[in-house]
A and B are shown apart, each in its own frame.
Chain A
Amino acid sequence: MRQSLASRLMNGARLVYISQLYSFKIAMVYRAQFALTILDTFVGMILPIAFITIMYNVSQGISGWSFYQLLLLVGLVDFATIVVYYANPARINNVLRLGYFDTYLTKPQSPILMLLTKTEGMWSFFFGMWSIIVIAFACANLSFSMMNLAPFIITVLGGVVTFMLFTAFTGIASYRIFSQANSQNWLMSNILSFGQYPLKIYGNIGAIIFTFAAPIALASFYPASLLLGKIGILYFFAIFGLEVALSAVFLKASETLLKGYTSASG
């Protein structure tokens, strides 16, 4: 008997919460590691900001977009980055290849959920924290209509979920194609970088790729454009609808691929 969607979501949320709590506890034991994670995430956050600061220092930047607007995009991509630490493609690939997935299959939760909730410790938590600070700082220096705030938040969250499922899908798909998977994480972090800039600079083909195929724009560019009034508020429905549709597609594709999964030899 299939659980209802609501209870599955509740279960999933509880799993995520418990994994994070557990990571916190481990981090507390190794305090030096804790301090380092904060430093590591800080540096990871600061470098792209340094990049655009220097860019706007030596030039006029990208026309139509001010420094703070670009900073907003950077912050949103940082927020989406925590996804890669949940749906870490290299980890997914390894889990499948080395046969750990067998242990997930024997547990009563959805194996996909288990794949996604074995988090990389505190990294995602702190990076998420920095990203919210950056987003808040950017917003404080931007003017926008308060009416756009709700659609903004909804599309950000929807975009992040879509991107997470896309990331999980590539992780599972790569298992069938490649024997080593470190390149997967690389691919993800590159795709994320593309989300830090306005979609128009990539031309039409780029726009299609980052909207439908590797949908980072759904988590960064489109929500930012909604908030800043660069596109009309009615577009919200189209964007949210696309997020839901793509999420379903990636989820279904992941489940189908997993069915063809074979366990590594013992």
Chain B
Amino acid sequence: MPDSIITISNVKKRFKTYKAGEHKKGFLGRLMRKYYYNQALDGVSFGIKKGEITALLGKNGSGKSTLIKIMTGVLHPDSGEVLVDGMSPWGDRTRLAKEIGVVFSQHNNLYFDLPPSDTFDYMKSLYSVPEHEYRQRLRYLLKLLDFEDKYKTQTRLLSFGERMKGNFISALLHNPKIVFLDEATVGIDLPSRFALRKAVQQMRKDFGTTFVIATHIVDDIEALAERIIFVDKSKVIFDGPRGEFDSIIGNKKHIELQFSDGVDPKIKGFGKVLEQGEGYIKLEIDSDKVKDKSLSRLLFSKGVIDYSVYEPDLSYILGKFYATLDKRKK
């Protein structure tokens, strides 16, 4: 693929795993676990372009974290090829590490007993960032994430959202080409999440940083993703631009109406009823029906107090998408 900064070809990965309490046979077997295999990735391929913001979606256990770990050199696949910034992540691990930044949700990059400022200084020597560039970058990131008044406080005393901001900054100080976020916004308060989102967009704009974001938080996907890669049961089942994902459910619009005197049953003929209440109804209609003359007559009729027409939101689309997955299971 032409200007791809990441290429994954036919990657397969399986894990040895065990169930607690199950043991091998025999006397000594009681002390040893019985292992079995779990195919985490079964022939995954895609390419990510430089400067793209990609969302890696999928249920828990679908393989997205594994993909990130493979792309960053933490694990290596059983077969298949991976090239990140022209390097093999596990073959050239220490060299690639200089060009990437990773933020994990469950593990801190920050040293717990010290303020984030100390970790930042350490990152500077770890990644050999020149002093001037470091100062500039730190100022930029602190301002972008609104972290100026907290970064000298001991990490132990910071809130979860503040720690993630610190983790985020520490992963970006060396101006990495690619940043991987592994569920990095889970459990964070809203203002911090907004700040992180803004930071992602700004950094991509100012520095052309590529972002790969594994997440299941719909709002983040909505705000950031230009490209969606959907992983389910160890395979990629969708890979394309955001607009294409939205039209998975077909060209539909949602329409909400508020009636003064109970819902007019005529409206139900225009589409599928999604919600209904006392004088209130929400329908899903085909996009071309919006211009339908009989519908507009109904909308402007006396009984309708208020109405709105809009694109289905992402969480609805995702919901339908997950539903089709479950249907495939059966």
Kindly identify which residue among A29, A32, A265, A266 contacts B31, using a CB–CB cutoff of 8 Å.
A32
Are A29 and B21 in contact (CB-based, < 8 A)? yes
Name 6 interchain pairs, CB-CB below 8 A, sorted by A. A29-B20, A31-B23, A31-B30, A32-B31, A35-B31, A266-B159
A266 contacts across to B, CB distance below 8 A: 159
Assuming A31-B23, A31-B31, A35-B31, what are 7 further A-B pairs, CB within 8 angstroms?
A29-B20, A29-B21, A30-B20, A31-B30, A32-B31, A265-B157, A266-B159
> Binding site of A, secondary structure by majority: helix, strand, loop or mixed?
helix
Query: Number of residues in B with C-beta < 8 Å to the partner?
Result: 7
- Which A250-265 residues sit within 8 Å CB-CB of chain B? 265
- Nearest residue (CB) in A for B20 is A29
A29 contacts across to B, CB distance below 8 A: 20-21
- Which B28-54 residues sit within 8 Å CB-CB of chain A? 30-31
Whole-angstrom CA separation of A30 from B33 in the bound complex: 11
- Which A93-119 residues sit within 8 Å CB-CB of chain B? none
Which A residues are within 8 Å of any B CB, using their own CB?
29-32, 35, 265-266
> Binding site of B, secondary structure by majority: helix, strand, loop or mixed?
mixed
Whole-angstrom CA separation of A29 from B18 in the bound complex: 13
B21 contacts across to A, CB distance below 8 A: 29
Whole-angstrom CA separation of A265 from B153 in the bound complex: 13
Which B residues are within 8 Å of any A CB, using their own CB?
20-21, 23, 30-31, 157, 159
How far in angstroms is the closest Cβ of chain B from A204? 42
A265 contacts across to B, CB distance below 8 A: 157
How far in angstroms is the closest Cβ of chain B from A179? 9
Whole-angstrom CA separation of A215 from B157 in the bound complex: 37
How far in angstroms is the closest Cβ of chain A from B159? 8
Whole-angstrom CA separation of A266 from B157 in the bound complex: 9
A31 contacts across to B, CB distance below 8 A: 23, 30-31
Whole-angstrom CA separation of A35 from B159 in the bound complex: 40
How far in angstroms is the closest Cβ of chain A from B155? 13
- Nearest residue (CB) in B for A264 is B157
Whole-angstrom CA separation of A199 from B137 in the bound complex: 65
Whole-angstrom CA separation of A32 from B33 in the bound complex: 10
A35 contacts across to B, CB distance below 8 A: 31
B157 contacts across to A, CB distance below 8 A: 265
Whole-angstrom CA separation of A35 from B27 in the bound complex: 13
How far in angstroms is the closest Cβ of chain A from B313? 32
B30 contacts across to A, CB distance below 8 A: 31
B31 contacts across to A, CB distance below 8 A: 31-32, 35
Whole-angstrom CA separation of A30 from B21 in the bound complex: 6
- Nearest residue (CB) in B for A98 is B156
B20 contacts across to A, CB distance below 8 A: 29-30
How far in angstroms is the closest Cβ of chain A from B305? 44
How far in angstroms is the closest Cβ of chain A from B189? 11
B159 contacts across to A, CB distance below 8 A: 266
How far in angstroms is the closest Cβ of chain A from B24? 12
A32 contacts across to B, CB distance below 8 A: 31
- Nearest residue (CB) in A for B31 is A32
How far in angstroms is the closest Cβ of chain B from A24? 15
Whole-angstrom CA separation of A31 from B34 in the bound complex: 13
Whole-angstrom CA separation of A266 from B31 in the bound complex: 42
- Nearest residue (CB) in A for B157 is A265
Whole-angstrom CA separation of A266 from B189 in the bound complex: 13
